[in-house]
Amino acid sequence: MERKINRREKEGEEKHSNSEGSEQDKDYKTSLITLNVGGYLYITQKQTLTKYPDSFLEGIINGKIMCPFDADGHYFIDRDGLLFRHILNFLRNGELLLPEGFRENQLLAQEADFFQLKVLSDAVKSRWEKEQLASRETTFLEITDSHDRSQGLRIFCNAPDFIAKIKSRIVLVSKSRLDGFPEEFSVSSNIIQFKYFIKSENGTRLVLKEDNTFVCTLETLKFEAIMTALKCGFRLLTSLDCSKGSIVHSDALHFIK
């Protein structure tokens, strides 16, 4: 008799446990929401979409705003599906985190306004204003010879990220063509300073030193800067000293887009 009672108690506990487990699974499944935004499917949790009260997404999830469904029964929102990635990441992280080189601030601000996320809209507009101010400031890169400051080049541009790109390109080219890197030159925020430049004849891009190591000439570095600028869509606004008869021989280059 005692064994039967214990068995019944055990069976009752298992049923109760299974019942709780199934209810938890059901709650978890209902907390997952699939959104179809402009043809792109996003799966996230209900708590993420309802993070900001009175937002468009919170209104949809809590039934305050009517929203159509697609053929599979998912909420359909006729907005930019690609940009919604950044909307969702903001809801998840609580801050604006955008990939490097992001250039769709105006569109993202419009999306933030549509979804009634004022905090995000303000963050995007603030970022946009800072980028516009930075774009008006001309930045420069100076390439010099530590023994002869008259031997060198200053590169001006109104795009800070482009100056950084030219800098990394010149360092890459120099590193691949110089032995003993980085002893041959030093790199700081806006200056690349070589120990010395080897003069070369016209048309010569590399000079073979006595110890059989290759050194980039100043003309080579100027040429790399000009080619990088043209490939990136920048144009040469002016060269401040073309008295030597060639852009490659000028003392300064000014690029603008």
Where a domain ends, among 118, 135, 152?
135
Give the end of a domain, one of 100, 135, 170: 135
157-190 pLDDT, tens digit each: 777 777 788 778 777 766 665 544 445 667 777 7
* Vertex 138: Cα angle to 133 and 140 (nearest 5): 140
Is residue 234 in some structural domain?
yes
Boundary of a domain, candidates 91, 106, 135: 135
Residue that has been written with the tokens 């290759």 in this structure: 214
In the beta sheet, which residues pair with residue 152? 144
Kindly state whether residue 183 falls inside one of the protein's structural domains.
yes
Residues pairing with 249 in the sheet: none
Place of tokens 């541009």: 157
Within a domain: 4: no
- Residue 41, domain member (yes or no): yes
| Contact of 153 with 145, CB cutoff 8 Å | no
Q: What is the mean pLDDT of residues 8-14?
A: 54
**Residue carrying the six token digits 């590169």:** 155
Residue 153: DSSP 8-state: E
Same domain, 201 and 234: yes
31/125 same-domain check:
yes
Confidence grade of residue 1 (pLDDT, cut at 50, 70, 90): very low
| Of 36 and 127, more confident | 36
Least confident residue range of 48-57, 216-225, 243-252: 243-252
Residue 89 CA to residue 145 CA, distance in Å, equals 47
Number of domains in the chain: 2
Name the token pair of 13: 């506990």
> Do residues 124 and 80 both lie within one domain?
yes
Q: Is residue 55 part of a domain?
A: yes
With respect to residue 56, please indicate whether it lies within any of the assigned structural domains.
yes
Domain range spanning residue 195?
Answer: 140-241+248-256
Q: How confident is the model at residue 216 (pLDDT cuts 50, 70, 90)?
A: low
Q: Which amino acid, 185? A: F
Closest CA to 131 of 93, 104, 112: 104
Whether 5 is covered by a domain: the verdict is no
Which residue's structure tokens are 């000014």?
254
* Residue of 57 and 30 predicted with greater confidence: 57
Q: Report if residue 130 sits inside a domain.
A: yes
226 lies in the same domain as 167:
yes
Lowest-confidence range among 28-32, 81-85, 124-128? 28-32
Model pTM? Answer: 0.48
What pairs with residue 153 in β-bridges?
Answer: 143
Please check whether residue 158 is in contact with residue 175, taking contact to mean a CB–CB distance below 8 angstroms: no
